[in-house]
């Protein structure tokens, strides 16, 4: 939004990570030339939002990323943009990056988008909406997942001076206009905070997480409600995680210390994240002794009697590394195990300092 805005914006407290660096580098390149070949790593946020925004001006752009990024779907967004006049070509496989964009503006009017794959598709259209040639109405087909992220997008657009009419997340109308530069403090990331909240719940210790409020707009603060529901003794629960799929992963290690089964639903989007997280999580939980049943939209785990030592594959997924580190912790009713995280540097995607902070929290020498 700042890159599209009139004037100079200033942000404080920005996370230094692979995802933010890819986005910043891309914006710098775009600002210097009417065309660019952009490498976006495995940043879904950068890939999806730039796909929409780059259609607005003029110029030729190529958007590519890591091999996994080329397996993550973008067809629904591209289809929607094509109905608005976008010229987008698939360079390898239909429906997936890499993409070639010949930018020539977007018409506006009415467009439809599926809501059940990724909320980033909708956020991308919303961010681009004020710069369409006509006001844009977006109709959501089916149930929208990850609504808090869309709400955050709308609230931020309002801060930048653009109003969006939200019809119960079934349709959205965005006015034409121009974003106005802002000076903003960036809130800490609730998904990252979930590991420390989980660590405190497992050990029955205390942790203070700064830089984020309990009434934050971020859906992942709902992880705190999950911990409240599990209680201080940690009892297995059934929970619908549609509103907070990222932090929902952190429920799995906590559930390994709980009494009874835990079932997490509303996680179909896990399959198209940094890895197929349903399959990856099931594979690695079985290594530590948990019994796991999975489906297209759920994972159910029975905790192990004893957490077994294991070498954990991360599938180059930052959240796998952070989740499984928690199984090294001791709880009052169950000891942790020696957990070896393979490819720990994958946390650089969103939290380069994770293991340093984890060590500080636990006093562990490893």
> Residue 338: phi, psi to the nearest 5?
-75, 115
Measure the CA–CA gap between 88 and 82, rounded to whole angstroms: 7
Q: List the catalytic residue out of 246, 276, 296, 297.
A: 246
Task: Specify whether the CB–CB gap between 117 and 77 falls below 8 A.
Answer: no
Annotated catalytic, 246?
yes
Q: Which residue in the block uniquely carries the two structure tokens 């890819």? A: 22
Nearest to 196 by CA among 220, 161, 217: 220
- The continuous run of DSSP H or E covering 110 comes out as strand 109-114
Nearest to 23 by CA among 53, 50, 58, 1: 50
Measure the CA–CA gap between 320 and 310, rounded to whole angstroms: 13
Q: Is the dihedral of CA 286, 331, 299, 348 positive or negative?
A: negative
Nearest to 300 by CA among 253, 250, 256, 262: 262
Q: Beta strands 10-12 and 183-185: pairing type?
A: parallel
Q: Do you find a cis peptide bond into 67, omega within 30 degrees of 0?
A: no
Question: DSSP label at 316?
Answer: T
Measure the CA–CA gap between 147 and 338, rounded to whole angstroms: 37
Task: Specify whether the CB–CB gap between 143 and 116 falls below 8 A.
Answer: yes
Nearest to 281 by CA among 305, 255, 261, 257: 255
> Residue 77: phi, psi to the nearest 5?
-70, -45
What's the count of helices (H) and strands (E) in the chain, helices before strands?
Answer: 12, 16
Active-site positions read 246
């Amino acid at each position: 939004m700042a890159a599209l805005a009139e004037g100079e914006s200033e942000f404080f407290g920005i996370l230094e990570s692979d995802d933010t660096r890819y986005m910043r580098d891309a914006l710098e390149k775009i600002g210097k030339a009417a065309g660019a070949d952009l490498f976006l790593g495995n940043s879904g946020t950068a890939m999806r939002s730039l796909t929409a925004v780059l259609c607005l001006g003029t110029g030729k752009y190529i958007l590519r990323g890591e091999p996994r990024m080329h397996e993550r779907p973008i067809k629904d967004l591209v289809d929607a943009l094509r109905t608005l006049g976008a010229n987008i070509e698939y360079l390898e496989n239909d429906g997936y990056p890499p993409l070639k964009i010949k930018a020539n503006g977007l018409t506006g009017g009415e467009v439809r988008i599926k809501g059940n794959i990724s909320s980033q598709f909708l956020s991308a259209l919303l961010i681009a909406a004020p710069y369409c040639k006509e006001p844009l109405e977006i109709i959501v087909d089916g149930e929208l997942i990850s609504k808090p992220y869309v709400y955050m997008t709308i609230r931020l657009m309002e801060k930048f001076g653009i109003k969006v009419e939200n019809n119960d997340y079934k349709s959205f109308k965005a006015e034409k206009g121009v974003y106005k530069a802002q000076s903003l403090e960036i809130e800490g990331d609730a998904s990252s905070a979930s590991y420390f909240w989980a660590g405190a719940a497992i050990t029955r210790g205390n942790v203070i997480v700064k830089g984020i409020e309990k009434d934050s707009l971020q859906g992942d603060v709902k992880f705190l409600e999950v911990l409240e529901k599990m209680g201080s003794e940690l009892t297995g629960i059934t929970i619908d995680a549609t509103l907070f799929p990222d932090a929902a992963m952190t429920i799995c290690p906590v559930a390994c210390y709980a009494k009874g089964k835990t079932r997490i639903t509303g996680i179909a989007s896990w399959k198209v994240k940094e890895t197929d997280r349903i399959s990856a999580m099931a594979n690695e939980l079985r290594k530590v002794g948990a019994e796991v049943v999975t489906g297209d939209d759920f994972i159910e785990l029975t905790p192990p009697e004893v957490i077994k030592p294991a070498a954990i594959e991360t599938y180059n997924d930052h959240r796998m590394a952070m989740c499984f580190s928690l199984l090294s912790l001791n709880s009052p009713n169950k000891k942790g195990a020696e957990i070896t995280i393979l490819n720990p540097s994958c946390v650089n995607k969103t939290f380069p300092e994770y293991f340093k902070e984890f060590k500080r929290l636990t006093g562990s020498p490893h």
